[in-house]
């Protein structure tokens, strides 16, 4: 393919309810979408960077800037373009994995649409449906939490993930176990809110039979996670620390994780995400698909990834209505705790023009 140009579109999506984690509260999601136009087809990508640099150092305006000033102009110099050409072309620019992932995804989507192949087939999917979990934010009270968890279980979600932070950890988990029983698949996510000094406290989660505790310590302190794994019985899962297949291999070798959360935006794209999956499978480490409150564009690609064989735990690939009353694509709907893997060309979905226009705040066009 030859690149004709790239459209950068900023949209604002109101959430159905506030979503609170250890690093802040979100009521809306500001999202940067990319539309890559080539001589053969168009493709879409979604940048998962947040409005502020809280989850990671990346944020929406920085992603827009680096794409505009460096990444897209560099990609325009590539004579023969496909998904596999993106990462090598952009390798000299340090970091900015979320921006790179969005651009690679859009190029890959265009390539696959031109060839009539699905993202799931390209990545190596072995399932046509994937089991779904849901992420439950920090609440104002235990009662509010129990109501929310009960609603998600009634909706059919197969796994519950509770966001935790110091002061909101043992008791919320205890309350959920006492109300809903030991058969509920339950895990917790700290988003780096603790330090190794909290190890004994976190061991207090062991009696509740959790699937895992996700990223309790700072993303750069992989060694501390290895130390924690020697102290607690609950399996340790890494999220923010896993930025590449090499980082995953190092963490596994160190004994810092027994489970890995794969978020394609965090690692630079779906092709690197597949490499991480392959490393984990080779080492007998289960993986699951994380989420970043994506629209249907990003959700479609995440569901395709989650259909690979190593994804043995339900991921955060929730239905569209978990976060948005109206999505910009046809909504993903939960069916007996599962989502259907898109089988159409590329990511298998496209934005609905009217819905997209309704949430758009800015559009820029960068010709090759």
Within the chain, strands assigned E span 3-21, 24-38, 42-47, 129-131, 133-136, 159-163, 185-189, 213-214, 236-238, 259-262, 287-289, 338-340, 360-367
Q: What is the DSSP string of 280-317?
A: HHHTT--EEE---S--HHHHHHHHHHHTSTTB-S-BS-
The residue count of the chain comes to 368
d(CA 270, CA 140): 36
Pairing type for strands 287-289 and 338-340 reads: unpaired
Q: Count Cβ atoms within 10 A of the Cβ of residue 294 and give its class: 0-12 exposed, 13-18 middle, 19 or more buried.
A: buried
DSSP summary character for residue 255: T
Residue 285's nearest CA partner among 243, 234, 237, 224 is 237
d(CA 78, CA 104): 13
* Per-residue buried b or exposed e for 48-84, using 16+ beta carbons within 10 Å of the residue's own CB: bbbeeeebbebbbebbbebbeeebbeebbebeebbbe
d(CA 246, CA 305): 19
d(CA 119, CA 181): 38
Q: Which residues contact 359 (CB under 8 A, 6 or more apart)?
A: 11, 12, 13, 328
Active site residue 163: yes
- Name the strands in the sheet holding 185-189, side by side, starting at the edge strand that comes first in the sequence: 133-136, 159-163, 185-189, 213-214, 236-238, 259-262, 287-289
Query: For residue 200, how many other CB atoms are within 10 A of its CB?
Result: 9
Of 94, 161, 263, 362, the active-site residue reads 263
Of 2, 94, 161, 163, the active-site residue reads 163
| Residues that are catalytic | 163, 263
């Amino acid at each position: 393919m030859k690149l004709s140009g790239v459209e950068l579109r900023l949209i604002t999506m109101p959430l159905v309810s506030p979503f609170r984690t250890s690093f802040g509260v979100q009521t809306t999601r500001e999202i940067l979408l990319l539309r890559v136009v080539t001589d053969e087809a168009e493709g879409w990508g979604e940048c998962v960077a947040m409005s502020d640099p809280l989850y990671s150092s990346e944020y929406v305006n920085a992603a827009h800037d680096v794409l505009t000033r460096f990444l897209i102009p560099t990609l325009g110099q590539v004579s023969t373009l496909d998904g596999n050409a993106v990462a090598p072309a952009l390798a000299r620019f340090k970091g900015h994995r979320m921006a790179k992932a969005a651009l690679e995804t859009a190029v890959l989507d265009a390539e696959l649409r031109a060839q009539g192949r699905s993202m799931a087939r390209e990545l190596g999917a072995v399932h046509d449906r994937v089991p779904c979990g849901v992420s439950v934010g920090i609440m104002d009270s235990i009662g509010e939490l129990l109501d929310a968890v009960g609603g998600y279980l009634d909706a059919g979600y197969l796994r519950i993930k509770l966001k935790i932070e110091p002061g909101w950890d043992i008791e919320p988990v205890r309350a959920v176990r006492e109300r809903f029983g030991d058969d509920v698949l339950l895990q917790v996510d700290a988003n780096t809110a603790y330090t190794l000094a909290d190890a004994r406290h976190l061991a207090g989660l062991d009696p509740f039979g959790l699937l895992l505790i996700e990223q309790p310590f700072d993303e750069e302190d992989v060694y501390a996670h290895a130390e924690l794994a020697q102290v607690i019985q609950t399996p340790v899962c890494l999220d923010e620390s896993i930025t590449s297949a090499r980082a995953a291999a190092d963490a596994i070798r160190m004994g810092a994780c027994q489970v890995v959360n794969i978020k394609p935006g965090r690692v630079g794209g779906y092709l690197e995400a597949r490499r991480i999956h392959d490393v984990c499978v080779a080492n007998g480490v289960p993986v699951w698909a994380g989420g970043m409150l994506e629209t249907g564009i990003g959700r479609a690609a995440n569901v395709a990834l989650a259909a690979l064989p190593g994804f043995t735990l339900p991921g955060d690939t929730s239905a569209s209505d978990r976060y948005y009353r109206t999505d910009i694509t046809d909504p993903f709907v939960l069916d007996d705790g599962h989502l259907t893997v898109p089988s159409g060309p590329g990511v298998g979905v496209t934005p609905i023009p009217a819905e997209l226009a309704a949430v758009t705040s800015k559009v820029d066009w960068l010709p090759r």
